[in-house]
A and B are shown apart, each in its own frame.
Chain A
């Protein structure tokens, strides 16, 4: 039991941190540009595939550095030549643009790398057992992922609170017109933020690719969860996104471990009246829980956990 709790906690934290790597970029983009980027998870996917392609040719570490930069560049180009054009038609058009983009990116990945998962491997230098607790091992690569995620988190906070660019971004979050009037090039900041957000998602993809799975449906699997994270955390709140990421990571991981069904709680007889609902275990509905959470939060606290504004 103890090992189950330990490993579930670790895995939940890891999953949560991965979610946050993407949710942070998504939140920044949304707060500044008002765009809910449907294609954000696609950048995560692109990161994994770029990382795979580079690691296959040169090695994992060059891919670790180059792939996120490439994804960032793709993101910046998308903003410059796609989103900016659509901007004048309003937010719905922007959202639909990213929706179409996600569709096209998935098809392109399908075409280039095929539908099957690709053989993206953990680098040999990290392919060992980090520690062992009663008989269960924990791979070093997962510790590395956790480290990268924490480092990225620290870096993001440092940039936002300590650097000049960060201050401008923070200002642009709340008062974009004022920032523009002060002579800053707001469109360029938008492009930068979009690019950086994409690069962060790309980085998440590069490190998650070998540990989880690199396949064309990875974006579609994760995309909706990301929305849950940023809405539950509160649109526009980085701290909220952080809390929600960890919450959802842990909830989903632990739900898997619980085999209790309604039949066990209220007794088989009462549950029988509920039909299928009575016999469904918590583990079975684990993937549904985030959406349930989303709907509940939006009904009872539309600001989200730590949000400051209603959309």
Chain B
């Protein structure tokens, strides 16, 4: 027993020693915390490519304030607690900017962690750039000065979508089907509220919440949608839940339009092509390569040539370009100075139109696009996942029309 307790203590020490920080190079490091193993890895790896690509772009122009940007990946494993450990590791390496996107639960944890860390370690502040977590609460009740969001939150997306539906009189009966967790619920309540306001004539014939990522066969739900006589389905489903929903719909011959948040996510285009629902599946995003300005199309092409995947996150482009601009204008790579410059920054967005980082809540506002997915039309260059199908812009909602009020009471340092 005795020797073994000692052995155990030594093992503990030795093991922890390995975790100690490594020597630092003289680059401006950005910690990228997203899943790089297990379930979410395929998405996380693509996100990492975006940031490496963008760092290269900025470095080719001389970097920021003379420093080269280096992206340091950390595997957050889509787990909030695990992500916090990785954030701590990043900070230990002297990293003072972190970026993350996958999972609002991780985002909430990181936001909280960064705020507390900065509170307890004045002078060593860390900034957190969020490129994809869309929970509205992050820029409302839980907002923080140290957090900036480049993706439109789910309420903004719904505002844009309902604005678009104003011009679609054919839509009469809507069925809502969403995942049973905070995001799905916020999609559902916002859809109800905003449709009531903007299209009171629309009847909501069904409102379903189903368990998150647990359903293997959606046909019972499809049977219910059919029975309700809906002509349009609105869903915030992502991942397998959107793919399976569409598949079951195609199997049962359901003829409705689908308005989605994430049909464009990994695997989504393949699933839509498989169902044959040509130009009946829509999504709401901040850019569409097929109708983008020439400069954006050029970047898209370079990215595809280099990595063989779609540039999913135009917002990541906006994030990195605005970050470099803010740091260069502030003539400092200090997080506090960068944050001050980012507030109310107005620039030309990657996909055109003016984009603004609102000072009140650190939420970016940008033009939103409603796209449909179908066979490539003449003149369209980009297909998805080698399906031969691509996205067509059906409507564009200006950023100023999506300005929602915020409940954020930001505490500034």
Contact = CB atoms under 8 A, between A and B. Distances in A.
- Report A-B touching, CB under 8 Å: yes
Interface of A: 1, 3-4, 7-8, 11, 15, 110, 114-117, 119, 121, 129, 135-139, 141-142, 211-213, 215-218, 221-222, 253, 256-257, 281, 283-284, 286-287
Given A11-B223, A213-B243, A287-B215, 4 more contacts: A4-B227, A114-B42, A253-B220, A283-B208
Contacts of A287: 211, 214-215
Interface stretch (B190-198, B265-273, B316-324): B265-273
Q: Which of A8, A114, A213 has the most CB of B within 10 A?
A: A213
A11 B220 contact: yes
B244 interface: yes
B209 A15 contact: no
Contacts of A212: 216-217, 244
B329 interface: no
Contact of A218 (B209, B216, B226, B247): B216
Contacts of A11: 217, 219-220, 223
Nearest to A135: B226
A139 B267 contact: no
A11 B218 CA distance: 10
Contact of B223 (A8, A110, A213): A8
10 contacts: A7-B220, A8-B223, A117-B240, A129-B253, A211-B217, A213-B247, A221-B214, A221-B216, A222-B216, A284-B180
Given A110-B38, A116-B266, A7 B219 contact: yes
B252 interface: yes
B384 to A, nearest CB: 13
Nearest to B35: A115
A115 B213 contact: no
A182 B78 CA distance: 56
B226 A3 contact: yes
A136 B38 contact: no
B221 interface: yes
Contacts of B219: 7, 11
A110 B41 CA distance: 10
Contacts of A222: 216
B274 interface: yes
A141 B252 CA distance: 11
Interface residues of B, number: 34
Contacts of A139: 251-252
Nearest to B244: A213
Given A7-B219, A11-B220, A136 B252 contact: yes
Contacts of B39: 110, 115, 216-217
Contacts of A15: 217
B199 interface: no
A224 B243 CA distance: 23
B227 A284 contact: no
Contacts of A211: 217, 251
B210 interface: yes
Contacts of B221: 256
Interface of B: 38-42, 180, 208-211, 213-217, 219-221, 223-224, 226-227, 240, 243-244, 247, 251-253, 266-267, 270-271, 274
Contacts of A4: 223-224, 227
Contacts of A281: 209
Nearest to B266: A116
B204 to A, nearest CB: 13
Nearest to A121: B274
Nearest to A11: B219
B211 A284 contact: yes
A117 B267 contact: yes
Q: Which 10 A-B pairs have the closest CB atoms?
A: A116-B267, A137-B253, A256-B220, A115-B42, A7-B223, A139-B251, A287-B211, A287-B214, A212-B216, A11-B219
A283 B216 CA distance: 15
A33 to B, nearest CB: 28
Nearest to A5: B223
B357 to A, nearest CB: 33
Q: Which of B213, B253, B271 has the most CB of A within 10 A?
A: B253
A218 B240 CA distance: 10
Given A117-B267, A129-B253, A284 B210 contact: yes
A83 to B, nearest CB: 26
A119 B273 CA distance: 10
A246 to B, nearest CB: 15
Contacts of A141: 251
A3 B227 contact: yes
Contacts of B209: 281, 283-284
Nearest to B229: A135
Nearest to A142: B251
Contacts of A116: 42, 266-267, 270
A110 B39 CA distance: 8
A245 to B, nearest CB: 15
A119 B270 contact: yes
A60 to B, nearest CB: 14
A8 B218 CA distance: 11
A7 B221 CA distance: 11
B253 A213 contact: no
Nearest to B271: A117
Contacts of B251: 137, 139, 141-142, 211
A84 to B, nearest CB: 31
B243 A117 contact: yes
A78 to B, nearest CB: 23
A249 to B, nearest CB: 10
A290 B211 CA distance: 14
A143 B253 CA distance: 16
A119 B274 contact: yes
Nearest to B251: A139
A56 to B, nearest CB: 13
A253 B240 CA distance: 19
B220 A213 contact: no
